[in-house]
Structure 1
Amino acid sequence: MPSYKLTYFDIPGIAQHIRYILSYANQPFEDVRLNSKEWPKLKENYPYGKLPIFEIDGKVFNQSNAIARYLAKQYGLNGKSDLETLEVECLADTLVDLRNGLSAIFYEKDGEKQRELTRNLLQNLFPTYLKKFEEIAAKSTSGWLVGSQITWADLFFASSLALFEEKFPGVLKSYPALTALVEKVENIPSIKAYLEKHQK
């Protein structure tokens, strides 16, 4: 069995769905969490000066969704067919577009520009993207976003939507199918145990 080590900050961020995938699969892994205050001194030691990184038997890999796709393949979380895999990939990449709108706020240092980005996120990006995602989730007869079984898209969405709700309480109140997806994923026993262990 390979040895897995995930290194990221002590926040959900862009590594949480990797943690979800590993937890769902009951795969042991070293969950290294760095202090953001220490990061400037450490970043030169990591590829491209960015996190997360994922080590497989000591070999280092970067890019969170590339890692997620690899793990999804290992654990049968890509869908039952190539077409389902394409659906999963399209949803995941579209969610990245929305997440980038959130990330831009936290990287922006200028107060007025940050407020403008926040308004755009709340008034334009969230309504546009979440409405479409809600329609997809609401049409599902399985409770999962793609096909009849869980995929890594469900884990990516659940972790991201929970983050959106944490940062902007009430943002999911108009989206019952998405809210149900988050609850469904968070109640998977292995993920529930992971969340309880790391809940602050």
Structure 2
Amino acid sequence: MGVPQLYYFTIRGFGEYIRLLFIDNGIKFEDIRYVYGSPEWDEHKKSMIFGQMPTLKHDGKEYAQTGAIMRHLARVHDLNGSSEDDATFLDMFFEGVRDSRMKYVMYIYMDQGTREELTQKTLPTCLANFEKLFKIHQGKFIIGDKPSYADYILFEELDAYTHLDATILDKTPSLKAFWEMMWQRPNLKPYLEKRKADGVWINAIEKGMK
């Protein structure tokens, strides 16, 4: 089998969930990044399924859409829980975090609402719901003591939100402990520290970075 190729922009964005999954689980992949608006990207997107990224290519097959890619990798690499109930719970958690991300995106790119509204009301409401869901299962991950594909979107979103407000996780102790634990994962820590040192943008615009 060949090495999977992940195509995304030079930012974190939606592609970061997939990168984190690969890195944390020691899965080799090619991290192919394009500068947004570059001639190279404008040309390459013509050949992609929806003309957008992230896109995953592996063994002659192409996969598009973030959720579809994440769930594909979850099934292939045993990151989808151990039962139908687990898989459904993870799907629910994943989609809930995606909804939260879209509220964040509307502020970042569309100037919808204010930073104060987002960090004092909108995101804390989402985080309180995630905190309740997170505590349903025993263990340090969303489900037990084994990571799932949904843990990577949750971690990346929590990390992004701390760039808006460093104290935003203080009222959700389970989520904060999870976020801190993920930062110390042996495979993730070097990558995360380099990402921080390099100042990799979360979004295609600087808004939302400290």
Q: TM-score range by the shorter chain?
A: 0.7 to 0.9
2:128–2:172: 8 Å Cα contact kept in structure 1? yes
Change (3 A) 1:188 1:46: same
Give 1:59's match in structure 2, choosing from 61, 68, 75.
61
Report the counterpart of residue 183 of structure 1 in structure 2: 180
Report the counterpart of residue 49 of structure 1 in structure 2: 51
Report the counterpart of residue 90 of structure 2 in structure 1: 88
Match of 2:186, as an amino acid? P
Farther-moved stretch of structure 1 (171-180 vs 93-102): 171-180
Report the counterpart of residue 142 of structure 1 in structure 2: 139
Report the counterpart of residue 34 of structure 2 in structure 1: 34
Report the Cα distance in structure 2 between the residues aligned to 1:180 and 1:11, rounded to whole angstroms: 26
Q: Once the 2 structures are TM-superposed, how far is the Cα of residue 79 of structure 1 from its aligned partner?
A: 0.6
Report percent identity of matched pairs: 27
Q: Once the 2 structures are TM-superposed, how far is the Cα of residue 139 of structure 1 from its aligned partner?
A: 5.0
TM-score (structure 1 length as normaliser) = 0.86
Report the Cα distance in structure 1 between the residues aligned to 2:122 and 2:52, rounded to whole angstroms: 26
* Structure 2 stretches lacking a partner, 5+ long: 199-210
Report the Cα distance in structure 2 between the residues aligned to 1:180 and 1:147, rounded to whole angstroms: 14
Report the counterpart of residue 100 of structure 1 in structure 2: 102
Counterpart secondary structure, 2:113: helix
Farther-moved stretch of structure 1 (86-95 vs 39-48): 39-48
Q: What whole-Å deviation, never above 9, does each CA across 1:148-185 have from its counterpart, x for those lacking one?
A: 42211222211111111124433222222111111222
TM-score (structure 2 length as normaliser) = 0.82
Change (3 A) 1:62 1:168: farther
Match of 2:102, as an amino acid? N
Give 1:161's match in structure 2, choosing from 158, 161, 164.
158
Report the counterpart of residue 132 of structure 1 in structure 2: 129
Aligned residues: 195
Report the Cα distance in structure 2 between the residues aligned to 1:153 and 1:178, rounded to whole angstroms: 13
Match of 1:5, as an amino acid? Q
State the superposition RMSD in angstroms.
2.1
Report the counterpart of residue 17 of structure 1 in structure 2: 17
Report the Cα distance in structure 2 between the residues aligned to 1:165 and 1:38, rounded to whole angstroms: 30
Report the Cα distance in structure 1 between the residues aligned to 2:61 and 2:51, rounded to whole angstroms: 17
Match of 1:68, as an amino acid? M
2:134–2:142: 8 Å Cα contact kept in structure 1? yes
Report the Cα distance in structure 1 between the residues aligned to 2:108 and 2:60, rounded to whole angstroms: 32
Report the Cα distance in structure 2 between the residues aligned to 1:53 and 1:5, rounded to whole angstroms: 8
* Structure 1 stretches lacking a partner, 5+ long: 109-113
By percentage of residues, which structure has more helix? Answer: 1
2:119–2:164: 8 Å Cα contact kept in structure 1? no
Report the Cα distance in structure 2 between the residues aligned to 1:67 and 1:75, rounded to whole angstroms: 12
Change (3 A) 1:3 1:126: same
Farther-moved stretch of structure 1 (160-169 vs 178-187): 160-169
Report the Cα distance in structure 1 between the residues aligned to 2:60 and 2:117, rounded to whole angstroms: 42
Report the Cα distance in structure 2 between the residues aligned to 1:115 and 1:152, rounded to whole angstroms: 30
Counterpart secondary structure, 2:80: coil
